[in-house]
Structure 1
Amino acid sequence: MADAAYHDALRRLFARTGGAWRLGLERVSELLALLGNPQRAYPVFHVAGTNGKGSTVATLDALLRGSGLRVGRYTSPHLVDFAERLVVDGAPMPHDAITAWLTQWEPELTRLGATFFEATTAMALDWFSAQRVDVAIVEVGLGGRLDATNTVEPLAAAVTQIGFDHLEFLGDTLELIAGEKAGIYKRGAVAVVGEARPSICAHLTAHAESVGARGVLVTGRDWEVRDIVVGASGTSFTLVTTDGERRLTTPLIGEFQAHNAAVALAMLRGAGGRWLEIERNASALLPAVRLAGRFHHVAPWLFDVAHNADGAATVVANLLDVGAPLPVSAVVCVLRDKDWAGILQAVARVATHIVVTMAPTAPVARAWNLDEVTAWAESEGLPVQRVDNFALALDRARAQAATVLVTGSFHTVGDAMERLQVDPLAR
């Protein structure tokens, strides 16, 4: 009965995703006021960016928890279970607590016309307060300036790498997108700029300075990452700051993971005080970093979300760097509004077989057209095989290779993890 109530409550919550995306802070601000503004009960580290924000959040989580703090972590989307979004000290919000909160506040959610993400954000911030966390790490959902999470008053805010995504909401140039993401920088809070491209970096830096950030830390100016080495056990790098240089290792695999770790460390360094002491102990704390669904290896399976061709190319490079057992096959499902052709081309550089399929939870309105995909792949000479049934696609790929890459959308990776009984929150 409890599970039935939970799933019924989630069904009503997810129904709030219908219609046009409505950005803005008015509804969520009013909702949080009704809750007593729980987001003010604890310090917050706020993270935005097109790429790298998940890794930065995961790194902060490990560093803060490893220091003995009680840590709330709010991320999106989830892989297998909605509760993965709202985590305290590695444990998801219990199903019965989610059900109770949604049931109690549903009349107000309806009255305010709160969206799915606004309701979920308010629930997370309220849960963290109820759980008396020492600190919370909050990941932006979309953009920054008008994202529901921008109701927090952060100790430090970071913008990681910028790329083209959600152009209909954020603008069609990198400068416009950066401007939206820079909206999380606030007067009196530390601002961290993780984007290295000079023009975008300058744009973010100028915005942070204009709003009166307490301090602005910029990659390439206030820290530098050198001598990156990627291996099967993680990514080692030299971090150079005004305090000198250190050799560090993150368990996350990929050159970009060194830069993401550096952004997390810059947030702590900029915050100062006890947070700086945690940063200085990074060498001992970084080994605990985990990030589900990002180069997540449970042999022979390798799970890695890739929304664009660059992301897929990075997955391929990492596979080669760690010397994954050959041959490699891939199971791929991408949402139709993403660059699925670029993703397939990148995957084909390492996979001898590519099975294209349909993830069960992929939204029907955004599902890719397998007729179009297979016709295009055949015209390009890619080793693509169509298997509509998702379970059969996993079996087919497993039978053809020593390493099976599951990639594409969060739906694809999450559905595979659920079927293969891989817990995203397992240590």
Structure 2
Amino acid sequence: MRYEELSEWLDWQESLHPKSIDLGLTRVAGVHKKLHPGYEPPITLSVAGTNGKGSSVAMLEAILREQGYRTGVYTSPHLQVYNERIRIDGNMADDAALCATFDRIDQARADVTLSFFEFGTLAALDIFARERVDVQILEVGLGGRLDAVNILDADAALITSIGVDHVDWLGSTRDMIAMEKAGIFRPGKPAIVGDPNPPACLCSHAGVSLLGRDFGYELSGSVWNWRGLGAALDRLAWPAIPGRHQFMNAAAAIQMLRSLADLLPVSDQAIRNGLKNVRLPGRFQYFGGGSIPVLLDVAHNPQSAAALAGYLQEQFPGKTIRAVFSVMRDKDIHGIVDAVRGVVACWYLAPLKLDRAARGGDLSRLMQGMGVESIRNGYKTVAEAVGAAFSDAQPDDLIVVFGSFFLASEFLALDLQSGLISGSV
């Protein structure tokens, strides 16, 4: 074995391929065929989209586990440990299993270079095959058509939403991006779109089920109802993942499962229980047990930032909100800031030690150019930025930590180490 420790394998994978992102299926499909010749996959669900992928995957997993299926789930990125990316029956893959699969991949690849994400995708598929899962739920990393997940033909595919993101790889318009994401659809297989305003290229796809046309939802006080063609589910509890946009994700997840009723039967009760019990860290995650409450969210594009702003206005009216913020420089920073600037009283720009991360000085100048006031900068660590927000906060304030997954990861590590906050719900 090349390495004995998981951390060593991951460090090596970061440097193996000359590009951190190299879209294409030839290399990864070839290595997968060597790993599993004659592979017959379990039932496979693929989920793509600009926002809502993680939530939809979590809902599907929760429902299917309630039904008693043995699930394999592949997601990215992770928040705290790499092992989060690969789950079997709700449990993270352990270090030993990951090291063993990385060794198998390393031997199968010969001189083929693989990106970090491609290595992880092959690891997930290898582990799921060996664990003999009943169903695997695969979250697309970037786009769809050329993403490593797409080496498999999904039994059903879901696109949650379409926003302008990753323009260097996917295109600069919603139509161009939608075409890339639609690459996960397969002829004759259920194709679900959970975007309420999908581009025309998705609407014309043969056999597609569209939110608002073929299925939908309606709110009724503290419960909600799902509607499909010739089918309905009434008086569902609100999804346990907060935010009104989660109704779209939940409705699309139900439609996906209903479209597979013959292949993957799921009871109404499993749907009810799954949605009621689903958990997903980093999405409107509230910490209310400390001196100042904190809301953590991985909103890192304008669409998700707008959802965050709406949630803050709805759930925390009148609160003074202090935002600890960091984001990658290739994101639409102007659009993100513009979406939430109306609800944030003071900004604390947290530094991330990554080449892709926007520098505090650049962020500050951009925001000042937008007319944003009350910007705090110059911190050496995320801990310093969070500490400053706590120091300035009054008892009735709310601290919002949002932006990059990497910021969320550092914040959660800080929570565990410092005891500044507690009581995640």
Query: Do the structures match in fold with TM over 0.5?
Result: yes
1:409 corresponding residue in structure 2: 404
- The amino acid that maps onto 1:322 is Q
Aligned-pair CA distance for 1:312 = 1.6
Unaligned runs of 5+ in 1: 210-214, 230-234
Check the 8 A contact 1:54/1:75 in 2, yes or no: yes
Cα deviation 1:258-298 (Å, max 9, x = unaligned): 00001100110001126343356422331111111111112
Check the 8 A contact 1:348/1:383 in 2, yes or no: no
2:59 corresponding residue in structure 1: 59
1:264 corresponding residue in structure 2: 253
Match of 1:383 among 374, 385, 391: 374
Taking a change above 3 Å as real, the CA distance of residues 190 and 280 of structure 1, as seen in their structure-2 partners, is farther
CA distance in 2, matches of 1:167, 1:406: 25
Match of 1:238 among 209, 220, 225: 225
1:210-229 matches, cutoff 5 A: 215-227=207-219
CA distance in 1, matches of 2:154, 2:101: 25
- The amino acid that maps onto 2:192 is V
CA distance in 1, matches of 2:338, 2:201: 33
1:102-181 matches, cutoff 5 A: 102-109=102-109, 111-181=111-181
CA distance in 2, matches of 1:109, 1:133: 24
Alpha-carbon RMSD across the aligned residues, in angstroms, is: 2.4
1:79-98 matches, cutoff 5 A: 79-98=79-98
Cα deviation 1:366-409 (Å, max 9, x = unaligned): 12122222234345142211123211111111223342211011
Aligned-pair CA distance for 1:107 = 4.2
Match of 2:316 among 306, 312, 323: 323
Taking a change above 3 Å as real, the CA distance of residues 406 and 269 of structure 1, as seen in their structure-2 partners, is same
Larger mean Cα displacement after TM superposition, 155-164 or 31-40: 31-40
CA distance in 1, matches of 2:321, 2:20: 40
Match of 2:363 among 363, 373, 376: 373
Match of 2:339 among 346, 354, 357: 346
- What secondary structure sits across from 1:275 in the alignment? coil
Aligned-pair CA distance for 1:184 = 0.7
Larger mean Cα displacement after TM superposition, 272-281 or 71-80: 272-281
Taking a change above 3 Å as real, the CA distance of residues 29 and 332 of structure 1, as seen in their structure-2 partners, is same
CA distance in 2, matches of 1:60, 1:37: 29
Aligned-pair CA distance for 1:329 = 1.4
- What secondary structure sits across from 2:209 in the alignment? strand
Cα deviation 1:334-368 (Å, max 9, x = unaligned): 111112233334333223221112124xx21x121
- The amino acid that maps onto 1:349 is G
CA distance in 1, matches of 2:317, 2:352: 25
Larger mean Cα displacement after TM superposition, 103-112 or 63-72: 103-112
Taking a change above 3 Å as real, the CA distance of residues 195 and 309 of structure 1, as seen in their structure-2 partners, is closer
CA distance in 2, matches of 1:42, 1:57: 16
CA distance in 1, matches of 2:173, 2:54: 23
- The amino acid that maps onto 2:403 is G
1:278-317 matches, cutoff 5 A: 278-279=267-268, 281-299=270-288, 300-317=293-310
CA distance in 2, matches of 1:83, 1:40: 25
Check the 8 A contact 1:64/1:278 in 2, yes or no: no
- What secondary structure sits across from 1:420 in the alignment? helix
Q: Flag the structure with higher helix content.
A: 1
2:421 corresponding residue in structure 1: none
1:419 corresponding residue in structure 2: 414
- What secondary structure sits across from 1:44 in the alignment? strand
Aligned-pair CA distance for 1:159 = 1.2
Check the 8 A contact 1:39/1:125 in 2, yes or no: no
1:232 corresponding residue in structure 2: none
Unaligned runs of 5+ in 2: 418-423
Aligned-pair CA distance for 1:177 = 1.2
CA distance in 2, matches of 1:288, 1:398: 31
Check the 8 A contact 2:101/2:126 in 1, yes or no: no
1:35 corresponding residue in structure 2: 35
- The amino acid that maps onto 1:240 is R
1:212 corresponding residue in structure 2: none
- What secondary structure sits across from 1:316 in the alignment? helix
CA distance in 2, matches of 1:396, 1:37: 56
CA distance in 2, matches of 1:228, 1:167: 38
CA distance in 2, matches of 1:87, 1:331: 30
2:197 corresponding residue in structure 1: 197
Percentage of identical aligned residues: 35
CA distance in 1, matches of 2:365, 2:414: 28
CA distance in 2, matches of 1:20, 1:294: 26
2:350 corresponding residue in structure 1: 357
Taking a change above 3 Å as real, the CA distance of residues 251 and 124 of structure 1, as seen in their structure-2 partners, is same
Larger mean Cα displacement after TM superposition, 246-255 or 127-136: 246-255
Aligned-pair CA distance for 1:252 = 1.6
Match of 2:392 among 395, 400, 415: 400
Taking a change above 3 Å as real, the CA distance of residues 86 and 38 of structure 1, as seen in their structure-2 partners, is farther
Q: Taking structure 2 as the reference length, what is the TM-score of the superposition?
A: 0.89
Check the 8 A contact 1:193/1:217 in 2, yes or no: yes
Q: Taking structure 1 as the reference length, what is the TM-score of the superposition?
A: 0.88
- The amino acid that maps onto 1:68 is G
